[in-house]
Amino acid sequence: MSSVIKVDAIKLANGNTPSTSDLGLKSLDVYFWENNNTQGGSGTSLITSGWAVSNEPNAANFGAGMSESSGVFTFPNTGIWRLDYHAFFVHNGNDGHVAVVSQISTDGGANFSDGPAATGGNRTSSDPQISAMAFYLMDVNSTSNVKLRFQIQSANPATASKIYVGFTKLGENS
């Protein structure tokens, strides 16, 4: 036997609406990039522009908020963060290997190393659409030193039509 619980509103015992800290979430921001970025050959390119705070219907953005400049994201506070990213691509039908690679810096953005990638592939020219997603748990121990950016990689020409990135703070550093 199963049950269904329907809730229209959550209230504290005193009748007030709970704050984000009452709910256990410290910060939640969703950013999306919606711009065509054609890749050629064995191309790689950094996503340096086009990021915006999500204004999708019912998007739930709250907390201190991520900041972004020239494609480099800065975390608002330290802690354990979950990153979710989902990309939609269209390829030319020759070789549809595409990826959005997270790149992480621990020295304030002077150097970046590849992190997890959302990758996909499809060699069928009759269905050139690819969707790829990934998630990553990240220990942000310094808001000055830990930075994040994204890179597109493609084996042959492909267009990234939309990329969603979600940032959720799960808890404090140990």
Per-residue pLDDT of the chain (174 residues; tens, 9 = 90+): 666 776 667 777 888 877 666 666 655 656 655 555 555 445 788 888 888 777 777 666 666 678 899 999 999 889 889 998 888 777 766 656 788 899 999 999 999 999 998 888 766 666 677 788 899 999 999 999 999 999 888 776 667 777 888 888 888 887
Phi, psi (degrees; rounded to nearest 5) at 131 = -125, 135
- What's the pLDDT at 43? 75
Which helix (H) or strand (E) element contains residue 101? Answer: strand 98-105
What is the pTM for the complete model shown? 0.77
* Cα four-point dihedral sign 67, 73, 74, 76: positive
The architecture (CATH level 2) of 31-171 comes to Sandwich (2.60)
Write down the pLDDT at residue 22. 64
Strand partners of residue 84: 135, 166
Report the distance separating Cα 65 and Cα 49, nearest Å: 18
Angstrom distance (rounded) from CA 83 to CA 132: 14
Rg over alpha carbons for the chain, rounded to the nearest Å, is 19
Ramachandran region of residue 118, left (φ > 0), alpha (ψ -120 to 50) or beta? beta
* Residue that the structure tokens 């998007």 belong to: 59
In this predicted structure, what is the pLDDT of residue 34?
57
| CA separation for the pair 22, 85 (Å, rounded) | 27
Alpha-carbon gap, residue 63 to 53, rounded angstroms: 13
The predicted structure's pLDDT at residue 40 = 47
Which pLDDT does position 142 carry in this prediction?
97
Task: Report the relative pairing of strands 72-74 and 147-154 from DSSP bridges.
Answer: antiparallel
In residues, how long is the chain?
A: 174
Our measurement of the distance from residue 142's CA atom to the centroid of its chain's CA atoms, rounded to an integer in Å, reads 19
